[in-house]
């Protein structure tokens, strides 16, 4: 009989351990994309185009597109604040220190 080529999952994982840092990076990127998607949903619910929003914010449409594509971490707080306010929302900034939270800014 031929030799079995079945390999247990544990054997496969042992040869290629999980890169926790890479996984954390992927999770962070997915979460940023989800937050950006939610912002886009709100804009679309209001019937506002990227171009109209960009004009309200005195930015370019490609900047809005990048922001809505998940580029939130590289966007400045002022840009995010402007985006939210241009759609009638407000921003709250919270600093977290372990189990303590401090509202730094609320508007």
CATH code, 100: 1.10.260.40
> How many Cβ atoms are within 10 Å of 50's Cβ, its own excluded?
19
Count up the domains in the chain and report the number: 1
| 104, 96 contact by CB (below 8 A) | no
pTM score: 0.70
Calpha distance 13→7 (Å, rounded): 10
When pLDDT is cut at 50, 70 and 90, the band that residue 102 belongs to is very high
Select the more confidently predicted residue: 2 or 84: 84
* Partner residues linked to 101 by β-bridges: 96
Is the residue at 12 inside a domain? Answer: no
Is the residue at 1 inside a domain? Answer: no
φ/ψ of residue 43, rounded to 5: -60, -45
| 81, 88 contact by CB (below 8 A) | no
Which residue range forms the structural domain that includes residue 60? 17-106
Orientation angle between helical segments 61-68 and 20-45, nearest 10 degrees:
130
When pLDDT is cut at 50, 70 and 90, the band that residue 3 belongs to is low
Lookup result for tokens 């939210």:
84
| 64, 54 contact by CB (below 8 A) | yes
Is the residue at 2 inside a domain? Answer: no
Is the residue at 76 inside a domain? Answer: yes
* Section 42-51 average pLDDT: 97
Question: For the chain, what is the mean pLDDT?
Answer: 87
Sequence-distant (6+) residues with CB within 8 A of 96 are 102
Is the residue at 81 inside a domain? Answer: yes
């Amino acid at each position: 009989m031929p030799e079995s080529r079945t390999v247990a999952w544990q054997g496969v994982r042992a040869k290629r351990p999980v890169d926790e840092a890479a996984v954390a990076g992927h999770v962070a990127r997915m979460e940023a994309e989800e937050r950006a998607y939610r912002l886009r949903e709100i804009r679309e619910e209001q019937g506002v185009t990227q171009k109209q929003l960009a004009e309200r914010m005195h930015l370019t449409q490609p900047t809005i597109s990048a922001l809505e594509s998940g580029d939130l971490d590289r966007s400045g707080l002022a840009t995010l604040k402007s985006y939210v306010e241009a759609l009638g929302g407000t921003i709250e900034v919270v600093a977290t220190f372990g189990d303590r939270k401090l509202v730094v800014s609320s508007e």
